[in-house]
Chains A and B, each alone.
Chain A
Amino acid sequence: MTFSQFQVRFHGRGGQGVVTAAELLSVAAFYEGRYSQAFPTFGSERAGAPVAAFCRIAEREIRTRAPIIRPDAVVVGDPTLLHSGDLFAGIGREGYVLVNTSGDLTDLDLDRRLAGLRPERIVALGATELALQHLGRPVPNAVLLGGLAALCGVVGLASVERAIAERFPGPVGTANQRAAAEAYARVARPAELTGASPD
């Protein structure tokens, strides 16, 4: 994939690992020789609180410290956040959206908000269920990362798996790698998606 800069915004809740997801994405991009910068919206830490994290990926040194205002991709770790502010603020027509839900995207009433985006770039993924299945814990960050890699191709699955292994050595890392790989496969082959494909 060629680009000069690609920006991802993650929204989730404390405990879901969206900050880690942004960090791992930056590490995966680093492995691919790119410059990257991941940073959270820094709240006082508590489980369940809304959390946002950012990742910028670029071909040259990233100097700006401003938050991401025009994301190329938005990842929503918890669909209950969709009612608390505009998670998709600044996203362009070429943008990507990945929502963690095992339900139907149409139920989330995003049509109007995401009108104009390319439908194949709006994807639902039952990330929490996949995480439970592979890790036994409802921490969907690695799953979302695998899904995002498949959705927008900004990093390859191998780099995601390497970043996971570096961060989580041992069985936890292996399980997360498997979860990411399955998510990647599901998003890369939409026919096998658990949710309905976006209209």
Chain B
Amino acid sequence: MLRQIEGSQAVARVVAACRPEVVCAYPITPQTHIVEAIGAMVKSGELPGCRFINVESEFSALSVAIGASATGARAYTATASQGLLFMMEALYNAAGLGLPIVMTLANRAVGAPINIWNDHSDAMAARDAGWIQLFARSNQEAADLHAQAFRLAEEVSLPVMVCMDGFILTHAFERVDVATREQIEAFLPPFEPRQVLDPAAPVSIGAMVGPEAFEEVRYLAHARHLDALGVIESVAEEFAEVVGRKSGGLVAPYRTQDAELVVIALGSVLGTIHEVVDEARDRGLRVGALGVTTFRPFPLEAVRDALAGDARLVVLEKAFSSGFGGVLSTDIAMALGGATARLSTVVGGLGGRAITETSLRRVVDDALEGRLGRLEFLDLDRAAVERELAHMAGDRRSGPIAENVLRAIGAGTAGIAGRRA
């Protein structure tokens, strides 16, 4: 049903239409609207057969989901940022146990300094936890991906994390065609667990495995991830057949044919990138974009195919590995056979810093003219950074860096609105 709706509400409705049996959550901005909406549906009776559990931490939120999923129930939770890191141990555990839990990650920066706004540091921190990680470009895709996530998770017995940009998507009102319960019922079969706690056929789940088999167990998780690459595509196709709309999949190329420059990114910034691509094309520049929808498992082949040719590549990342550089960039380079001079990493949008079309236009122009270094930081206030570096060099007790930087940029009265480009 086509609605003008907040992203969180759209996701909540689709999750509810998937008929979860146990939903548990601990509140963290900007995930709250999603679980509040589902909680209300459970309490009002609109979502029968579902238990909503208010837990005392994110660690327990995922732990409740683990118990529920192992008992054969369809389980869902949502979190962000510090919450994801607080549940990190359970994150690995859910994946290791092969429990098909679906979780929304409302992407948010990770402190310190504490910051409630969007970037992808949280998702990147969980990159190796064994979860399937899907990134939504829009609220339409975020809503659709949740239906696909349950199907995918249950088919391959792996947990799935649907990443949607905090605030930018979760709090944005826009047009979303919310899949109906009837459509979901036609698309999502009942949950048939591979392993279940059942007194009629007792099994031990989660026991210790020694060196004699640990590698094999781990390899099988990898093998299921590789299987998932195919399943993700077929699930997206089947979703399109049932719902009549293409969403999800491995990668999303946009005007990449004949492109001299391809901008690669995850999540909602792709919308802004598409605008900039169209505008560049209008200016006669051969620019395209590549969205990586499936980040784990990483679609090496699909990326390689999409980037065939010798176009310059800019990977725009809302996270990076301190002391190293881009995270997605590394994977892209891997897909292309290793480090390549044609690839630049541009880190931007950290902690909610707006990525504007003006800045992206400049990135495109710089890249096309060969002015872009291997690692760039979008709209970085060089003067403020240099000033603090000098300050630290001159004063052993230079104090909290974050405060010094804010003083250096002269912030304090305008608030974050003042940081709009």
- Do these two chains really belong together in a complex? yes
Chain A positions 53 through 80: 1 when the CB is less than 8 Å from some CB of chain B, otherwise 0 = 0000000011111110100000000000
Whether a CB of chain B sits under 8 angstroms from the CB of A175 is no
Q: When the two chains form the complex, which single residue of B29, B165, B357, B417 contacts A66, counting CB atoms closer than 8 Å? A: B357
Q: Which residues of chain A come closer than 8 Å to B356, judged between CB atoms? A: 66-67, 69
Whether a CB of chain A sits under 8 angstroms from the CB of B397 is no
Is B275's CB under 8 angstroms from A63's CB?
Answer: yes
Q: Which residues of chain A come closer than 8 Å to B275, judged between CB atoms? A: 63-64
Tell me the nearest residue of chain A to B418, going by C-beta: A85
Is A84's CB under 8 angstroms from B413's CB?
Answer: yes
Whether a CB of chain A sits under 8 angstroms from the CB of B117 is yes
Chain B positions 335 through 373: 1 when the CB is less than 8 Å from some CB of chain A, otherwise 0 = 000000000000000001011111000000000000000
User: For residues 11 through 67 of chain A, which have their beta carbon under 8 Å from a beta carbon of chain B?
Assistant: 22-23, 26-27, 29-31, 35-44, 50, 52, 61-67
Tell me the nearest residue of chain A to B276, going by C-beta: A64
Tell me the nearest residue of chain B to A25, going by C-beta: B173
Is A66's CB under 8 angstroms from B355's CB?
Answer: yes
Is A65's CB under 8 angstroms from B355's CB?
Answer: yes
Counting contact residues on chain B (CB < 8 A from A), the size range is: 35 or more
Is B4's CB under 8 angstroms from A26's CB?
Answer: yes
Is B269's CB under 8 angstroms from A65's CB?
Answer: yes
Is B417's CB under 8 angstroms from A85's CB?
Answer: yes
Is B420's CB under 8 angstroms from A69's CB?
Answer: yes
Counting contact residues on chain A (CB < 8 A from B), the size range is: 20 to 34
Q: When the two chains form the complex, which single residue of B138, B171, B175, B352 contacts A36, counting CB atoms closer than 8 Å? A: B175
Q: Which residues of chain B come closer than 8 Å to A44, judged between CB atoms? A: 29, 116
Tell me the nearest residue of chain B to A28, going by C-beta: B4
Tell me the nearest residue of chain A to B269, going by C-beta: A65
Is A67's CB under 8 angstroms from B171's CB?
Answer: no
**In the complex, how many angstroms separate the beta carbon of A74 from the nearest chain B beta carbon?**
12
Is A37's CB under 8 angstroms from B352's CB?
Answer: no
Q: Which residues of chain A come closer than 8 Å to B171, judged between CB atoms? A: 39-40, 42
CA distance A40 to B4 in the complex (A): 16
Tell me the nearest residue of chain A to B169, going by C-beta: A65
Is B268's CB under 8 angstroms from A84's CB?
Answer: no
Q: Which residues of chain A come closer than 8 Å to B354, judged between CB atoms? A: 66-67
Is A66's CB under 8 angstroms from B174's CB?
Answer: no
**In the complex, how many angstroms separate the beta carbon of A103 from the nearest chain B beta carbon?**
24
CA distance A23 to B7 in the complex (A): 12
Is A38's CB under 8 angstroms from B415's CB?
Answer: no
CA distance A85 to B165 in the complex (A): 28
Whether a CB of chain A sits under 8 angstroms from the CB of B272 is yes
Q: When the two chains form the complex, which single residue of A35, A39, A64, A85 contacts B167, counting CB atoms closer than 8 Å? A: A39
Chain B positions 382 through 418: 1 when the CB is less than 8 Å from some CB of chain A, otherwise 0 = 0000000000000000000000000000000111111
CA distance A74 to B274 in the complex (A): 27
- Given known pairs A63-B271, A64-B357, the reply for A39 and B172 (CB within 8 Å) is yes
CA distance A39 to B4 in the complex (A): 12
Q: Which residues of chain B come closer than 8 Å to A64, judged between CB atoms? A: 271-272, 275, 357
Is B172's CB under 8 angstroms from A43's CB?
Answer: no
- Given known pairs A26-B4, A40-B171, A62-B174, the reply for A52 and B417 (CB within 8 Å) is yes
CA distance A22 to B173 in the complex (A): 9
Is A66's CB under 8 angstroms from B173's CB?
Answer: no
Q: Which residues of chain B come closer than 8 Å to A39, judged between CB atoms? A: 167-168, 171-173
CA distance A40 to B168 in the complex (A): 9
Is B268's CB under 8 angstroms from A65's CB?
Answer: yes
CA distance A39 to B420 in the complex (A): 14
**In the complex, how many angstroms separate the beta carbon of B219 from the nearest chain A beta carbon?**
39
Whether a CB of chain A sits under 8 angstroms from the CB of B159 is no
Q: Which residues of chain B come closer than 8 Å to A67, judged between CB atoms? A: 354, 356, 420-421
- Given known pairs A23-B6, A27-B4, the reply for A42 and B117 (CB within 8 Å) is yes
Tell me the nearest residue of chain A to B166, going by C-beta: A42
Q: Which residues of chain B come closer than 8 Å to A61, judged between CB atoms? A: 175
CA distance A24 to B173 in the complex (A): 9
CA distance A107 to B6 in the complex (A): 38
Q: Which residues of chain A come closer than 8 Å to B357, judged between CB atoms? A: 64, 66
CA distance A29 to B174 in the complex (A): 10
Is B167's CB under 8 angstroms from A42's CB?
Answer: yes
Is B272's CB under 8 angstroms from A38's CB?
Answer: no
**In the complex, how many angstroms separate the beta carbon of B206 from the nearest chain A beta carbon?**
38
B residues adjacent to A (C-beta < 8 A): 3-4, 6, 29-30, 116-117, 138, 165, 167-168, 171-175, 268-269, 271-272, 274-275, 352, 354-358, 413-418, 420-421
Using A39-B171, A63-B274 as known contacts, list a sample of 5 further A-B pairs with CB atoms less than 8 Å apart, ordered by residue number in A: A26-B4, A50-B415, A52-B417, A66-B356, A85-B417
A residues adjacent to B (C-beta < 8 A): 22-23, 26-27, 29-31, 35-44, 50, 52, 61-67, 69, 84-85, 89
- 5 A-B pairs (CB sep. < 8 Å): A30-B3, A40-B171, A63-B272, A69-B356, A84-B414
